[in-house]
């Protein structure tokens, strides 16, 4: 059975329309913040991924050995945190679809990491019902904090036949507004 590829634009439009429709609830004490921020996160996650061609050193070993279950695709820009930024700045992000679309597609970027590394990154963010959203380390410093070395890969087919070149953390792409937004969650 051949599956039709997902159209990420459909998920983006759904997120945009849903967040616009729920904006009136943002900031009201009776509203579950998490229920609103998950609209963005779930649509980003479900829309597929845009791997930027980077992989961690630990993930390389699993890929070469064919142990795919030990690796994960890390949405390294923290889409749920970006949802706060969108709701808090609706004049910018919910009034212009193209601006929203840029943030959405930025959030789809992933890096291949070991599942254990992804767990470390997840533990850097805590949230109860979404009201108390806390980040220990800004996204652009998270891989450095945990000593995760990155490589760019090239080639196709079997992972053992690919070429891996060490890269700096500067090869990770971030939206400047999203990074500034994270500052308010850092404790």
pLDDT at 131: 63
pTM: 0.90
H/E element holding 34? helix 33-46
Share of the chain above pLDDT 70, in %: 96
What is the residue-averaged pLDDT of the chain? 92
Contact 175, 103 (CB under 8 A): yes
Please enumerate in sequence order all residues whose Cβ is within 8 A of that of 101, keeping only pairs 6 or more positions apart, or say none.
9, 12, 16
pLDDT at 129: 58
Please state which of the ranges 28-37, 65-74, 128-137 shows the lowest mean pLDDT: 128-137
Q: Is the pLDDT of residue 10 over 60?
A: yes
Nearest 5 degrees, angle CA 116-CA 117-CA 119?
65
Strands (E), the chain: 50-56, 71-74, 109-114, 125-127, 133-135, 150-154, 163-166
């Amino acid at each position: 059975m051949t599956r039709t590829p997902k159209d990420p634009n459909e998920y983006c439009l759904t997120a945009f329309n849903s967040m616009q429709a729920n904006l009136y609830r943002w900031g009201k004490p009776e509203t579950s913040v998490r229920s609103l921020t998950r609209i963005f996160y779930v649509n980003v996650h479900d829309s597929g991924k845009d791997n930027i061609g980077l992989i961690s050193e630990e993930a390389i070993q699993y890929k070469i050995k064919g142990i795919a279950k030990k690796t994960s695709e890390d949405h390294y820009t923290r889409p749920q945190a970006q949802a706060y930024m969108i709701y808090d700045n609706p004049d910018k992000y919910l009034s212009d679809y193209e601006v929203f679309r840029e943030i959405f597609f930025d959030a789809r970027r992933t890096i291949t990491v070991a599942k254990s590394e992804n767990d470390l990154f997840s533990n850097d963010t805590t949230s109860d019902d979404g009201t108390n959203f806390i980040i220990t380390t800004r996204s652009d410093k998270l891989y450095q904090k945990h000593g995760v070395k990155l490589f760019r890969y090239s080639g196709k087919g079997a992972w053992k036949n690919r070429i891996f070149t060490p890269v700096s953390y500067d090869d990770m792409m971030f939206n400047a507004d999203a990074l500034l937004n994270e500052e308010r969650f850092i404790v």
